[in-house]
Amino acid sequence: MGRGKEGLFRGTPAWVAALILLGAALVLSLLGAVTIGSTEIPFRDVYRVIGYKLFRVGDWAYGSGNLYRAVWYLRLPRLLLAAGIGMALAVCGVVMQAIVKNPLADPYVLGISSGASLGATVAILLGVGAVFGENAVGIMAFIGAFTVSVLVVGLANVGGRANSVKLLLAGMAVSSVCGAFSNFIVYIAQDREGMQTVTYWMMGSMAGATWERDGAVLLVAVLGILFFWTQYRNLNLMLLGDESAITLGTDLHRWRQLYLLAAAAMVGFAVYAAGMIGFVGLIIPHVMRMLFGTDHKKLIPLCALAGGVFLVWADVACRVMIKGTELPIGILTAMIGAPCFIYLMARKKYGFGGGT
Amino acid sequence: MRIETKALQALLGGNRILKGIDLEAGERELIGVIGPNGSGKSTLLKCIYRVLKPAAGAVYLDGRPLDDYPYKESARNVAVVAQHNYYNFDFSVTDVVLMGRAPHKRALDRDTAEDFRIVRESLGRVGMSAFAERSFSTLSGGEQQRVILARALAQRTPCLILDEPTNHLDIQYQLQLMDLVRGLNRTVIAAVHDLNIAAMYCDWLYAMKDGVVVGQGSPKELLTPAFLRQVYEVDANVITDDKGYLHILFHPGAGETK
């Protein structure tokens, strides 16, 4: 491997092959992971339930009962949710890194996380948004995340056009305000149980998965990913900066804001369904970039599939690692993700894009 | 294609950097812009390649105001090799040159075999074919400059703007690059630092100082010792060698009054 060869598997055929492999891996992961859980369910029975439900083949007895409920209403929805959220977060990570032109960005960087936390805190501790019923926390988090993104875009445009630095600064400023208000509410509410709920929610979990939520999250995730895949040329240009982009025929200003809001919607839905899950949006893009280079035409679909696979197995690990209890997935993603990241970083010369 | 500026003024941070520039680059002319640091050369070029909005006056392509052109269309007519191309992400050389095809693409267009052919051809013209798979950020400054030129070539534009294109280059590549640019037979406006390079390659020179054009003419007419003294405050001899090339020979003791 010569100096500066970028990634192990460069070149078109390799990335297409990788795409197919990852796609197969995602399907196999879902099929495999559904057989693993805290309660022992025989391999064959799991597929009998799925087979009955999907194709109406086999014994009708698999269409009801505890076994059926465990597979069809617990395991499958949460696996699909994990896949959808993993895909969305990984792609949003790539997009955010392009928007702020900084490889250290993650999906939550532009204040989305603090907006979501404020929304959740307000819902849990103050009971705001009770009209949304049992989804109140998630929906308030979504509203918080999205509102903050709109605010950040607005703020970055004050006194001249927004650019990546102004967006980043606006994101930090709005984050601080939201963080302060969250803490303020936590402090005055003096509600131990509520605080615990907030903390738990911030660590993320797939436990709230239902088919309805899956539908919403997967729809937004898939549409968002397809949208960003078509935008690969502009995303590439973003990394060159505004001046080069103009000489190459694209004024990035509007695109940047559109992408930010689209990503905020995707992340918002993820947060709504599963709380905050860190690290996926940071590590997956970097690993894929190390292997396949920076071109977004490759990066977007590869990250989507890899993110899905990663989060499916992370969720499985959360369920089985500690007997009788379930680890919040955000803790696990950081625990698995960070060492992997350090390993890859140390093993391969990877300048985080910042040169060598 | 002709490029003109009329009474062009530009502000940077409240300072008037350009104080009314009239410049004309005719069809397939190689125009050099010379002048000391801070004279406004780069600012002038930035107005022409639309990164900077003029405070007054305008730029015209074939007589049509530049502001009337959508960005995509201006990028199909004018390609730019600017200074400082530092990217915070690793792109391969092919990725970078392929971006030169962006102005020819609509939102959902894919990269075609034709695009890749143009990329290979452009890299070949700047002698960088062997680097196609390399990571851009691992190249030397001079190699990066040539890749950026290849990107500009891939844009397939009738006009080219070069902002100190020979910076960072060894003399061999300086001459190679300018030979290449000359041979393109396009309308070129280049800010040139090195007066000998300017004298060797340009059809016409504009000399700038403090945001105004202080002289213009063919290299032979313009680059006289008296003029160099006036613009750069240096002493120099200007000779023509037996092959007819102009050479500027500088003397030590810049800024000392005679």
Alpha helices per DSSP H over chain A: 12-33, 43-55, 65-68, 76-99, 112-126, 136-156, 164-189, 192-203, 211-230, 232-240, 242-247, 252-274, 280-292, 296-320, 329-347
Cβ within 8 Å, pair A247-B137: no
Give me the residue from A102, A239, A243 closest to B51, CB to CB: A243
Mean pLDDT of B160-188: 90
pTM listed for this prediction: 0.88
Each residue's pLDDT tens digit, B37-94 = 999 999 999 999 999 999 999 999 999 999 999 999 999 999 999 876 666 678 999 9
Q: Of A115, A124, A276, A123, whose CA–CA distance to A195 is shortest?
A: A124
Each residue's pLDDT tens digit, A284-343 = 998 898 888 899 999 999 999 999 999 999 999 988 888 888 889 988 888 877 787 777
Each residue's pLDDT tens digit, A99-136 = 888 777 888 777 888 888 899 889 888 888 888 877 78
Mean pLDDT of B128-152: 91
Mutate to test the interface with A, among B89, B133, B153 (most CBs of A within 10 A): B89
Read out DSSP for A306-329? Answer: HHHHHHHHHHHHHHHSSTTS---H
Does the pLDDT value for residue B165 go beyond 70?
yes
Give me the residue from B75, B88, B107 closest to A353, CB to CB: B88
Q: Which long-range contacts (CB under 8 A, 24 or more apart) does A183-189 make?
A: A185/A121, A185/A122, A185/A125, A185/A126, A186/A121, A186/A125, A189/A125, A189/A126
Going by their DSSP bridges, the two strands B30-34 and B187-191 should be labelled as parallel
Give the ipTM of the model, two decimals please.
0.91
Q: What is the pLDDT of residue A2?
A: 37
Q: Which residues of B fall within a CB distance of 8 Å from A251? A: 71
Give me the residue from A3, A239, A297 closest to B87, CB to CB: A239
Q: What is the pLDDT of residue A4?
A: 42
| Alpha-carbon gap, residue B107 to A234, rounded angstroms | 9
The better pLDDT of the pair A234, B254 is held by A234
- Spell out the residues 6+ positions from residue B79 whose beta carbon is closer than 8 angstroms to its own: A247, B100, B151, B152, B153, B155, B157, B159, B160, B161
